[in-house]
Amino acid sequence: MFFFKSCPPFRTSEPKCFSILRLFIAIIFSSVIIIYAWISIEEFVSNIDEPNLYISELDEHFTYPGFRVCPKALSNGDDTLNISLYKLYRDISSSQLYIPNDYSFYDNKIRGLNDLNLYDFNTLYELHNNYSIPTNANFFIRDHDNNRCRIFIPPSINDEFSRIVEFQPFFVANELLFIITSDNSSIYSYFEINFESITINKRNLTIQSALANRNPNKDLKDVNTTLIPNQYFITRGRYVIYELILKERISYSSYFTGYLGFKASNTSTFLEIEEKELAPTPNASYTALELRFQYDFIIREQQKFQITVARVISNIGGFYGALSGIFVLLFGASKLTPWGICQKYVCCWSYRRSFKRHLASRYVSRAGIPLADDPRKLPLGAELSDRVAVLEHLLKEYYIDAYYLEKLRTTRKRYLDLRNNNFELLKLLGDDIDEDLKDDIALERLEDGSTS
C-alpha cells in the first residue's frame, strides 16, 4: 500500500518537504479508502437479510395444468365420480364468453364469431344434459391409489389447449369448463383439487444451433414440469372460477452462495390462483369449475442479492486501484516488493526460518549479500564478478522475466556452432573465400533451422 511506502525513513535523494507532502497525500488517500470500505461493508450488512426478487416475462407456450380431483365424504362410500369437460372461448377485446354452435371440442371447425354462441353459466344444466354435445371424458383417468379420484391429463401443446387461439381477424382465449357430478353427491360436502404438473414448450437453444443460425422453433421441446404441491377445495353445488398465473421461481439453495455472488440455481414452477365463486349452480347435484389464465406468458421470479461479497471486494479494489493510479501519476511508482505478508509475518516461525535458510543458500556468497552489503567493502578474496552473478540471479528469479534473453542465448549458441562447422567445411574448398560469405552461409543455414 502506498501509505507504508511513503512512511519514514524518507529517500535521501529527495527534498524532505517533498517526502512530507507525499506522506500527507498518502494519509488522505488511505483515509478515503477506509471510509469507502466502511460504507460498502455497512451497506452489505444492512441488505444481508433477504435477496431481492427480480420479475421478468417468459414468452413460452404451455398447456392447462393436470390435476387430481377427489370427493371428500361425510361417510365412506364407493360412489363413482364423473367429470365432463367443455371448452369456452373468450373474446379478448370484449371479455365475452362463447361456446361453439357445433360443439366438438376442437378448433378446426371454427372460422369466426358466427360459429360461436354466447355462453351464460345459467344455461349450465342444459349444456350438461344436452346429449348431442360430447362430454370429452377421455381426458380423465382413474386414480389407482384412490378409486374415487380422477386425474385430468391434458395432451401436449396443441391448438386445443393453447392459451391464445387465432381466428382471423380476431383472437380468443381458451378456457376450460369442468362439470363434476357423482352417483350419490348428497354424501359429499366438498371436492379437493391438487394441481400436479404442466407441459411447457421450452426452447432448448444450444451453441451449435446458435452458430448454425437455425430457426429457433426447431429447438422447441415439450417439457412436463412438476408443480409445487398445492391444495384447493370447492364446495359442492357451486360455480367456481380459478384464474391461473403460471410462475417460475429461481431461488438459492443456501443464502451463503448468494452472499458470495453466485447465481440462484434452484428452479421451481407453481401456480398462483385467484378464486372467484359466482353463485350456486342451477342444479345442486353438480359442481362447475372454470379454469382460465390471466396472462399468456410465464412470470419468472429470480432471487438475487443486490450487494454481494464479491461486489464489495470489487468496488473497494476498483476504488483503491483508481487512487493508487492517481498517486503513481503524482509521485511515481513505489519500489517493487517480491516478498509478501506470508514470508514476513503470517507463517509459522519454522516456515520463515526454512525460507531464510533457502534464501541464504542462494544469495549469500563470499562477496557478501547483494543490495544489503556495501559493494565497496568486499571481504578478502571476494571478487566483484561473484557479487554481480548473485545479483543477476536475484533479478532473474524475482524481478525480470529473462525468457527472451535465454532464447537469444540459445540462438547465438546455434549460430556460433554453425559458423565453426562452416569454417571447417570451407577450409576444404580453399582459403580464398571471403569472410562475409562465410557469415552469410551460417546465417542462411541458421534461418533454415539446420545444425549440421
Residues 6+ apart with CB under 8 A from 132: none
Identify whether residues 216 and 320 lie together within a single domain: no
Per-residue pLDDT of the chain (452 residues; tens, 9 = 90+): 677 778 888 877 888 888 889 889 989 999 999 999 999 998 888 877 778 889 998 888 888 898 999 887 665 555 567 888 888 888 877 778 888 877 777 766 677 777 788 887 777 777 777 776 777 777 888 888 877 788 888 876 555 666 666 665 666 778 888 888 876 555 557 889 999 998 888 766 555 555 555 555 556 777 888 899 889 998 888 889 999 999 999 998 888 888 888 888 899 999 999 998 887 766 667 888 999 888 888 999 999 888 888 889 999 999 999 999 998 898 888 878 888 777 777 667 777 788 888 888 888 888 888 888 888 888 877 888 888 888 888 888 888 888 888 888 888 888 888 878 777 776 666 555 555 555 555 555 555 555 44
Identify whether residues 317 and 347 lie together within a single domain: no
Residue 68 domain flag: yes
Residue 171 domain flag: yes
Q: Find cell 410462475 and name the residue.
A: 247
Residues 6+ apart with CB under 8 A from 249: 267, 268, 269, 270, 300, 301, 302, 303
What is the model's pTM?
Answer: 0.68
Identify whether residues 198 and 111 lie together within a single domain: yes
DSSP state of 368: B
C-alpha cell at 252: 438459492
Identify whether residues 317 and 440 lie together within a single domain: no
CA dist., res. 201 & res. 154, Å (int): 14
Identify whether residues 314 and 350 lie together within a single domain: no
Q: Is 369 helix (H, G, I), strand (E, B) or coil?
A: coil
Domain that holds residue 363: 341-394
CB 174 within 8 A of CB 89: yes
Q: What are phi and psi of 17, to 5 degrees?
A: -65, -35
Which CB contacts under 8 angstroms, 24+ apart, belong to 99-108?
99/127, 103/133, 103/134, 104/134, 105/134, 105/136, 105/160, 106/159, 106/160, 107/159, 107/160, 107/165, 107/167, 108/159
Residue 230 domain flag: yes
CA dist., res. 138 & res. 63, Å (int): 17
Among 304, 320, 351, where does a domain finish?
Answer: 304
Identify whether residues 387 and 431 lie together within a single domain: no
How many CB atoms within 10 Å of residue 172? 22
CA dist., res. 106 & res. 74, Å (int): 38
CA dist., res. 77 & res. 207, Å (int): 57
Identify whether residues 300 and 326 lie together within a single domain: no
CA dist., res. 286 & res. 176, Å (int): 16
Identify whether residues 70 and 179 lie together within a single domain: yes
Among 287, 304, 321, where does a domain finish?
Answer: 304
Number of domains comprising the chain: 4
CA dist., res. 390 & res. 370, Å (int): 7
CA dist., res. 234 & res. 338, Å (int): 75
DSSP state of 89: E
Identify whether residues 193 and 300 lie together within a single domain: yes
Q: Is 81 helix (H, G, I), strand (E, B) or coil?
A: strand
Identify whether residues 234 and 146 lie together within a single domain: yes
Residue 276 domain flag: yes
Identify whether residues 315 and 299 lie together within a single domain: no
Residue 336 domain flag: no
Residue 452 domain flag: no
Identify whether residues 276 and 313 lie together within a single domain: no
Residue 420 domain flag: yes
